[in-house]
């Protein structure tokens, strides 16, 4: 029987303009209690251009601070699930987060980006009618299981910077 896995608290403040939502942290991230801890996960490399800072060399807490300074928030759509290993396809008995409730507390929020298809499917259901208030962005997954190279994923991730400027 698979163990029940639980997500982390959101990384947000009142100035978040862009919220990036994943599905559920993988085994390595859960073990280390850090978002995107697996060294082969491309998240930190992919979000760096939008954040305007090279995040991978920074200590974890400094990465989170840099995201917030760039007005980027981070969370997952799945609060908990039963799952062997780290693959989204193996998740069962999914309990979602209150994504709509969180977004209602973010007065500057302009866009919600979903890191991969599973996050998009579950997140849109959780947002319901609230999704119409935001720009919704489907991103190619940063997971090493999504075998498209980082160079092919980068343009979609780099485009996130459009929602971080004052003009938007």
Catalytic residue numbers? 41
User: Rounded to an integer, what distance in angstroms lies between the CA atom of residue 151 and that of residue 143?
Assistant: 14
Order the strands of the 92-96 sheet from edge to edge.
4-6, 78-82, 92-96
Per-residue b or e along 130-145, where b marks 16 or more CB atoms closer than 10 Å to that residue's CB: ebeebeebebbbbbee
Match 């491309």 to its residue by tokens.
42
CA-wise closest residue to 138 among 163, 107, 165, 111? 111
78 three-state secondary structure: strand
Query: Which residue in 62, 79, 41 sits closest to 157, CA to CA?
Result: 41
Distance in angstroms (rounded) separating the CA atoms of residues 147 and 41: 11
């Amino acid at each position: 029987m698979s163990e029940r896995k639980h997500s982390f608290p959101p990384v947000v403040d009142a100035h978040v303009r862009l919220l990036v939502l994943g599905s559920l942290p993988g085994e390595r991230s859960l073990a280390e209690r850090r978002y995107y801890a697996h060294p082969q996960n491309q998240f930190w490399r992919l979000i760096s251009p939008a954040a305007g800072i090279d995040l991978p060399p920074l200590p974890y807490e400094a990465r989170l601070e840099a995201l917030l300074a760039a007005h980027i928030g981070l969370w997952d759509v799945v609060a908990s699930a039963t799952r062997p290993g780290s693959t989204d396809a193996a998740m069962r008995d999914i309990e979602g987060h209150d994504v709509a409730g969180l977004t209602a507390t973010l007065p500057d929020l302009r866009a919600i980006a979903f890191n991969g298809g599973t996050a998009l499917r579950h997140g849109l259901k959780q947002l319901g009618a609230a999704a119409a208030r935001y720009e919704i962005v489907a991103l190619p997954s940063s997971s090493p299981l999504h075998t498209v190279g980082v160079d092919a994923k980068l343009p979609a991730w780099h485009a996130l910077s459009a929602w971080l400027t004052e003009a938007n």
